[in-house]
Structure 1
C-alpha cells in the first residue's frame, strides 16, 4: 500500500482544477472573459427566469382546474379573461425585472477594485 502525505483538500482542489481544464478544452474557456460578479448575475437571471416559469406553470394548471369546474359559458369566459389579464400583468412585471437584472450584468461589483467586469 502506497502512502502519500497529501491532504484530502489538496486532492479535491487538484480534481477541480482538472475538471475546469477539461471544461475549457470542451469550449467553455470563453467564460474566463467574465468576472465573477458577471457570472453570479447571469446565475441570478437564470434563477429569476426559472422561478417565473414555475409560477406560470402553476397558473396554467389552475386555469385547467377552473375551466373544468366552470358551470356556464359565461363563467368559462370570465376564467379565461382573468387568466389572460394575470398572464399579461406577470409577463410585464417579469420583463421589467429581467431588464433591470440585465442592465446590471456588467457593472463592477462594489467589492471589485476593477472598473471593467469583462476580463478581455
Structure 2
C-alpha cells in the first residue's frame, strides 16, 4: 500500500486554495457572505421539521390511546379515518410551510448576492 507524502498533501491543499481564490476573484466572492444566513435558514427549517415530527408523534400516541379504548369496530374505523385525514392535512400544511421557508431563503440569498455584485 502506498502512502502519500506530506509534500503531496500540502501541494493538493495549496491547489484547492488557489482554485477557491480564483473563483472569488472571478466574481463568486459574494457567495462567502451567504454562509451565515444560509446556515441560519437551514437551522430554522430543521427546527420546523423537528417540531412537526414531535407533533405527529403526539398525534400517533393519542390515536393509539383512542384505539386501545374503543368499544367496537365502527368506532375504530372512525378513529382511523380521522387519524388519516388529520395526517394528510398536517403533512400538506407542513410541506407548504417548508416550501415557503425555502423560497424565502432563496429570495433573500439572491437579493444579497445581487446587492453585493452591484457594489
The answer to whether TM tops 0.5 is yes
Unaligned stretches of 5+ residues in structure 1 = 1-31
Find the counterpart in structure 2 of residue 46 from structure 1.
46
Alignment of 1:27-38 (within 5 A): 34-38=34-38
Q: Which has the higher helix share?
A: 2
Partners of 1:38 and 1:116 in 2: CA distance: 16
Report the 3-state secondary structure (helix = DSSP H, G, I; strand = E; otherwise coil) of the residue aligned with 1:71.
Answer: coil
**1:82 and 2:78 equivalent?**
no
Unmatched 5+ residue regions in structure 2? 1-31
**1:95 and 2:95 aligned:** yes
Cα distance, 1:106 vs structure 2: 2.9
CA 1:59 to 1:37, structure 2 compared with 1: closer, same or farther past 3 Å? same
Map Cα deviations across residues 43-101 of structure 1 (whole Å, 9 max, x no partner): 00000000000000000000100000000100000000000000000000000000001
Matches within 5 A, 1:51-62: 51-62=51-62
Compute the RMSD of aligned alpha carbons: 2.5
Alpha carbons 1:107, 1:116 under 8 Å: kept: no
Q: TM-score, normalised to structure 1's length?
A: 0.62
Give the paired residue count: 85
TM-score (norm 2): 0.63
Distance 1:83 1:113, change over 3 A: closer
Displacement of 1:36 in angstroms is 1.2
